[in-house]
Amino acid sequence: MEPHALRRITALLDQIAGRNQGRRLVERLLETRDMPGSIAREVAGSPSFERLYKEARTVAVAPKAHTAADSALVGATSSRASASGPTVSRRSSRR
């Protein structure tokens, strides 16, 4: 493998697994009998992976535009629904 290619791979792994982890992961993958799945699970538990995952998911679920409120989504579709909220039955405190 060319040095430039190896640097790019380790830089990518550094982004995923954490600073200065890329070279260690490449060496571990090439020089040990550790299964790639176990290495991947270790990486998935790292704070860097968690941060990167959250950043990507936040962008993926961010609202595109403001949408109008939909009363059906909150269960206010009944004609008995009022602006003051749901009706609550109260029991008498007398015995």
Domain ranges of the chain: 3-62
The Cα 49–Cα 20 span in angstroms is 14
Given a cut of 70, is residue 86 above it in pLDDT? no
Higher confidence at residue 76 or residue 11? 11
Q: What share of the chain is helix, strand, coil (3-state, %, to 5)?
A: 55, 0, 45
For 76, the 3-state DSSP assignment is coil
Output the pTM of the full model.
0.58
Closest CA to 46 of 61, 30, 24: 24
pLDDT band with cut points at 50, 70 and 90 for residue 73? confident
Q: Which amino acid is at 50?
A: E
pLDDT band with cut points at 50, 70 and 90 for residue 75? confident
Given a cut of 70, is residue 79 above it in pLDDT? no
Given a cut of 80, is residue 83 above it in pLDDT? no
Question: Looking at the chain, how many residues does it have?
Answer: 95
